[in-house]
Amino acid sequence: MTSQTSLNGTNGTRPLDGIRVADFSWFGAGPIAGRTMADFGADVIRIESEARVDGLRLGQPQKPGKSGYNVCAYFNNFNADKRSFLLNMSAEGSREVALRIIERSDIFLSNLTPRVIERWGLTYEELCEVKPDIIAAYQPMQGLWGPHRDFLGFGAVLTPTTGISHLSGDPDRRPVGVGTNYPDYAVNPGHTIVAILAALRHRRRTGRGQRIELAQIESVAATMGPALMDYTVNGVNQDRKGNRSTWMCPHGIYRCADDPSGRERWIAIAIRDDAEWESLCAVAEGSSFASDDRFATLLGRRRNEAVLNQAISDWTASFDAASLAVHLQSVGIPAALIQDAEDMCEHDDHLAERGFYAYLDHPETGISLYDGPTVKLHDTPGYLASPAPLFGEHTFEVATDVLGYSAQEVAELTASGVLA
């Protein structure tokens, strides 16, 4: 198998060098899993189609004055280090090309519904006919079988479906969710990568591939353990609690002084026990809450939490949030500045020193920020070698170098509408 050239690492390789992925996924959960493999050396071929362009290619944010399929930062961040291959699965002859890609790959990745997979003839049994040891990872939102198997949705649908939205927000207001498509960004691609690595190890030992079914709804529901246990064991159907905790108090977000530009600044403070409470009171000596006997114990703080939160907000209002967070941390109190994008990109010295963000030169967007690999291997580290591909940038390259078509055959497939 071919792979992108390794550029660093103490032994000149990345752990997934030589692995090829036929990435038939789109939007979030699938492409993020694919990019993780690309970061660690896999040759990820992203199958795309102008007949149904990935919606993230048309999304926001886009650089002012730029438009088209190649300028969405959202898409580009999740698709660095990949190759883009245009294949119209609605055209006659396209399935043969798709199977040819899969035959030359180690992993098939898709988060499309079972209905689409079956219509295209890309079920696991059909893939095994051309690649018996293929590892086929399917990530349909509701799974490959069951009454809701063909339901459509994204992270914004999974958070309410799995109960997360019900628990998110203030108790006297409607559910608000988590503000981002958390299932797409974290849990679903993370579970998928673990399963793929396990399947790769199994194949190395036995020579056999296998089908991976990651029902996104079950992957996300697995994070709801405490609430489900509370219901099944105690009969308690938990509701929204805002920022309140069942065992920490205070546990909340508090307004600090605005910065010189007028930007709101906030701090998060979490107190786990009476010792930390006493430390907070020592820092806040002279405040209204520091000597109030109502707050001397956890039970007292819980009983009077609304009053306590207001008192802490009155105290923090005059402080610089970042400086206060550092001071509280120095005396053993969990605290943090509530950071926004500017903070993380420009002012977070910790992320900067660790080199988390990478800046890559994209042909249309120029120098742009990308998330770096979230896992660091000391001997074979992952890294970003190239920015996101232009739409269809590698179609001819993949068709000839990977699939073995001649230039004339590529021209014929393009003329017939199979390739673009």
Tokens of 292: 């109030």
Q: State the sign of the Cα–Cα–Cα–Cα dihedral 378, 380, 382, 383.
A: positive
Rounded distance between C-alpha atoms, residue 229 and residue 218, angstroms: 16
184 tagged catalytic: yes
Rounded distance between C-alpha atoms, residue 226 and residue 306, angstroms: 24
Q: How many residues does the chain have?
A: 420
Catalytic member of 54, 81, 184, 343: 184
Rg of the chain's alpha carbons, rounded to an integer? 25
Q: What are phi and psi of 177, to 5 degrees?
A: 75, -160
Tokens of 395: 């179609």
Torsion region of 240: left, alpha or beta (phi above 0 gives left; psi -120 to 50 gives alpha): beta
C-beta contacts of 304-307 below 8 A and 24+ residues apart: 305/244, 305/249, 305/250
Rounded distance between C-alpha atoms, residue 265 and residue 253, angstroms: 10
Residues with catalytic function: 184
